[in-house]
Amino acid sequence: MTSETEKIRFGTFLAQGAAGNIIVTYLSFIAIVLYFPNGYDFLLLFFLPFYLIVMGIIGAVIGTVIWLAGWLLESRPGVISRAAIGILFPASLVALVALLLGSILDQRLLMGAIGSGLFYGLPAALVAGSRFNPLRRIIFGFGEGRARRDLSRRFACIAGLPLRVASAFGLMESLLWLACLISSRRLGAGFNYGGENYLPAGLAILYFAVSGLNSCAPPRKLFLLITSVLVNTPLAIWTLDPHRARSDDTDALAIMAWALISVWVLFVAGQMISSGSNHSTPHQRPRLIPLTLCEVQIRQALNRW
């Protein structure tokens, strides 16, 4: 491939494949909780990390296969090619393993293999090789280009990594918790855990959303400092309150709260010592959604008009 921007990078495909499967797995958890409620939905809060890791590894394997196909063909695979690889590769593996275990290759086995390809391979295949790379934003934030040119910016980028990872995972857990609370209302009084738990779930979602936005796209230093104090002061007050209810659960939450405050302090310290301002000019503001061909065509049409 001739263009620098079109070089096939192995790490990018691997991260994109993992991100595609992680996103679909998480959304499937939300859908299962909301549409098929049962009294044990809250156990998914504990199993979520395991499932995300396993599906992320499977997605990374799919991304590696797509990268290998592009490297052998010396061109970036298109959407249809990636979808075909994503479906056929896992389906072939499932069918092969079933045959090695002595199963008969019939219609049921083929449908199961294709279904596994659709669920395990298609999401990773569609994201791998595209311009959508959420894991890169979580790892580097939106200041990757400046971090490469400035040592202090590089340190600030590294210092913000724990907060970005914690915010992403915390937001997923909080949203799943809220979904469990909503679905529990349909199970009757014995399983209705809502009511007073809605407010903590909403506050957790707000906390992790603010943390994620600030760590991925830091605002001006003064505004960042004010935000960090406003966000973390109530958390610190709650942990130090001598009158709060004491139990193993609340003590564990207090430890997690201080861990979050610590990564916030590390992040803010890195931003404070970094050179320059965090504020971007209107032409340098990072895009949350990649530029699409449709948007380019609309802009060209408006320019001609």
For residue 235, the number of C-alpha atoms closer than 13 Å in the C-beta half-sphere is 22
How large a percentage of the chain has pLDDT more than 90? 10
pLDDT at 229: 92
Maximum mean pLDDT: which of 123-137, 156-170, 198-212? 198-212
pLDDT at 207: 93
> Does the pLDDT value for residue 119 go beyond 60?
yes
Residue 48 to residue 29: CA distance in whole angstroms: 8
Report which DSSP code applies to 7: -
> Does the pLDDT value for residue 173 go beyond 50?
yes
Residue 82 to residue 127: CA distance in whole angstroms: 9
On whether the pTM is more than 0.85, the answer is: no
| Mean per-residue pLDDT over the chain, rounded | 76
> Does the pLDDT value for residue 305 go beyond 70?
no
Maximum mean pLDDT: which of 136-145, 167-176, 184-193? 167-176
pLDDT digits (tens, 9 = 90+) for 65-85: 888 888 887 777 778 888 888
Phi, psi of 241 (to 5 degrees): -65, 120
pLDDT digits (tens, 9 = 90+) for 208-250: 999 988 888 888 888 989 999 999 998 888 888 877 777 777 7
Which residue, among 158, 107, 132, 186, has the nearest Cα to 269 in the 3D structure?
158
Phi, psi of 193 (to 5 degrees): -100, 10
CA angle centred on 162, ends 157 and 168, rounded to 5°:
105
Under a CB-based contact definition with an 8 Å cutoff, are residues 170 and 179 in contact?
A: no
Amino acid at 24: V
Report which DSSP code applies to 185: G
Binning pLDDT at 50, 70 and 90, where does residue 283 land? very low
pLDDT at 5: 37
Length reported for the chain: 305
pLDDT at 105: 62
> Does the pLDDT value for residue 290 go beyond 70?
no
pLDDT digits (tens, 9 = 90+) for 37-64: 887 788 888 888 898 898 888 888 888 8
Q: Which two tokens stand for residue 117?
A: 């390809």
